[in-house]
Amino acid sequence: MTKIINGIEINYDYRNNSDNDTLVVLLHGWGSNLKLFDSCMTVIEKKYPVVALDMPGFGESSEPNEPWSVDNFADFVLDFIKCFDYKKIILLGHSHGGRVIIKILTEKEFDFKVEKVILVDSAGIKPKKTVKQKFRQRIFKIGKAFLNIPLIKKMSPDALNNWRGKFGSADYNSASETMRVSLIKVVNEDLTPNLSKIKENTLLIWGEDDTATPLSDGKLMEKLIPNSGLVTLKKAGHYSFLDQQFTFNNVIKSFLNIN
């Protein structure tokens, strides 16, 4: 299914096999897409209408016309939710999707009630750079400045992209220029001060071996979010909902009272 929202074509999956008046909204992580939620949606649709979207710039959705911040993603998600006319919402977000949910709950106005929140290996806490990371960043900036000299660019037009490839993350290297700038904006915003403002009943689910958003982030969120609880999935990484799909789905069923 597709919708045009604010000039952006959005791919989404909406399943309404229930007369429940609460909509569950699923938000995927950076570089991901709604297809990874298929098993989760199959569980949730037994009791609730559920919708997942490819966020702008990902999956089969079109990119924004300019780089976006977390604020932009949050505003867009709220516009998307308005299309479905529900007054009660449950929010589930993985990684970047969790970051967007934190922004929505603590800095945005909306006319629906958020019944529950599920944050899965959520982003939002800005990691402290190690000495090694700071050194690599410094070397990258020096090399970038040199390779941007007009004469050097003319002599070696691919050199800058090759240099980026050596230093950038997989998400950064695979993105368009617009989404690269968006990624930089997004990861540099620290939402740690927002966590204590979340009042909704919040379930935190984390992979024990997550290296992208480490388990220490989940423990800090549990400490700072007043009404929250943390479930740790063993032998699971950043995509804990896929690594331990059976256990994850059972945790979701319990939290959402799905038989």
Mean pLDDT of the chain: 92
CATH of the domain at 113: 3.40.50.1820
Q: Would you give the DSSP letter of residue 153?
A: H
Same domain, 122 and 136: no
Same domain, 169 and 115: no
**pLDDT at residue 128 in the model:** 73
Same domain, 103 and 200: yes
Helix (H, G, I), strand (E, B) or coil at 171: helix
Helix (H, G, I), strand (E, B) or coil at 211: coil
Same domain, 77 and 175: no
Same domain, 141 and 165: yes
Output the CA torsion 45→47→53→55 (10° steps): -130
Average pLDDT score over residue span 111-132: 89
Same domain, 226 and 159: no
Judge whether residue 129 has pLDDT over 70.
no
Average pLDDT score over residue span 123-136: 72
Same domain, 230 and 153: no
**pLDDT at residue 140 in the model:** 58
Last residue of a domain, one of 184, 207, 223: 184
Average pLDDT score over residue span 128-150: 66
Please write the tens of the pLDDT for every residue from 57-87: 999 999 999 999 999 999 999 999 999 999 9
pTM: 0.86
Same domain, 28 and 58: yes
51 token code pair:
């919708």
Average pLDDT score over residue span 178-198: 96
**Could you tell me the residue range of the domain that residue 70 belongs to?**
2-126+190-255
Average pLDDT score over residue span 225-237: 98
The dihedral built from the CA positions of residue 144, 148, 149 and 154, taken in this order, carries a sign that is positive
Contact 201, 118 (CB under 8 A): no
Least confident piece of the model among 85-89, 115-119, 176-180, 196-200: 176-180
Same domain, 148 and 30: no
Radius of gyration of the chain (CA): 19
* Segments in 88-237 forming alpha helices (H): 96-107, 131-147, 150-155, 159-167, 170-174, 177-187, 215-224
**pLDDT at residue 174 in the model:** 66
- List the one residue out of 195, 75, 227, 196 whose CA is nearest residue 126: 195
Last residue of a domain, one of 140, 164, 184: 184
Same domain, 16 and 88: yes
Most confident of 117-121, 155-159, 172-176: 117-121
What's the total number of domains in the chain?
A: 2
In degrees rounded to 5, what are phi and psi of residue 48?
Answer: -125, 150
Judge whether residue 198 has pLDDT over 70.
yes
Last residue of a domain, one of 148, 164, 184: 184
Output the CA torsion 34→37→42→46 (10° steps): -90
**pLDDT at residue 127 in the model:** 81
Average pLDDT score over residue span 11-22: 96
Same domain, 91 and 48: yes
Judge whether residue 155 has pLDDT over 90.
no
Same domain, 15 and 111: yes
